[in-house]
Amino acid sequence: VILGLDVVRSLVLSASVFEIFSKQYSVDRDYLDSFWRHSLSVAFMARIISRMKNLPSVLEAEESFSAGLLHDIGKLIIFTHLFEDFKKIQKTIKENPGRPDNEIEEEILGFDHALVGSYLAQKWNLPEELVGAIKYHHNPEEDPDSSTTHIINVSNYLCLKSEESGDLKTKSDRKAVLCQLSWDRLGLDTEREKQLIQLLQDEYAKAETFLKMAQGD
């Protein structure tokens, strides 16, 4: 399979960003590891859903993978440049496990990681579809015509739910929030959800391999 230039660019950027943040900033290695495990899980789930939905081209499935990989990239900016606020956010998340993290970010910062990530994606000259998916993955009703945005919302939900239940190696205290519009647009149901979780577990070994590659191990 020959990947498009935009897809390759996002994959290379993600690996490069991991290396830059781990070497140039005092980033907690455990946090960074957890961050990338979640990002890779969402990327693999997004590609699984894209293939399941028979999107028009391989490129669209890989674009969904890229969007999943980069959907939380704004969190690294908050972590490295607004660390005191980041600690407040994490403390509030732990004290309020039922609240979505983006709402807590909005409360403390006045903006959330999705907005920051979309600005970064624009600066990297990534495709508008990817920029939109990063920006609206918590609020896909604001980008209702984008299949990628709907896929990332559902993928993020399913991965956080799996992390919360212990189905994946990484654990999360974050609240999994699903946009019903996205769920309905993708035509999913409880039985299909179980199938997707199983497929994600099968794909997770690949995510582990990519994580090691990104870390230079």
State residue 105's pLDDT score.
96
Confidence of residue 173 (pLDDT cuts 50, 70, 90): low
For residues 171-179, average pLDDT: 71
Regarding predicted confidence, which is higher, 52 or 130?
Answer: 130
> Could you give the dihedral angle defined by the CA atoms of residues 49, 178, 208 and 22, in that order, rounded to the nearest 10 degrees?
130
Kindly report which listed range (17-26, 81-90, 113-122, 128-137) carries the lowest average pLDDT score.
17-26
Structural domain boundaries enclosing 146: 5-215
Checking if the pLDDT of 87 tops 50, the result is yes
Q: Report the CATH number that the domain containing residue 156 is assigned in CATH.
A: 1.10.3210.10
For residues 1-10, average pLDDT: 51
Within 10 A of 138 (CB to CB), how many other CB atoms are there?
A: 21
Within 10 A of 145 (CB to CB), how many other CB atoms are there?
A: 8
Confidence of residue 3 (pLDDT cuts 50, 70, 90): very low
Cα–Cα distance measured from residue 35 to residue 91, given in angstroms and rounded to the nearest whole number: 17
Q: What does the mean pLDDT of the chain come to?
A: 81
* 3-state secondary structure labels for all residues of 97-145: CCCCHHHHHHHHHCCCHHHHHHHHHHHCCCCHHHHHHHHHCCCHHHCCC
State residue 214's pLDDT score.
52
What total of structural domains would you count in the chain? Answer: 1
pTM (two decimals): 0.84
Confidence of residue 163 (pLDDT cuts 50, 70, 90): confident
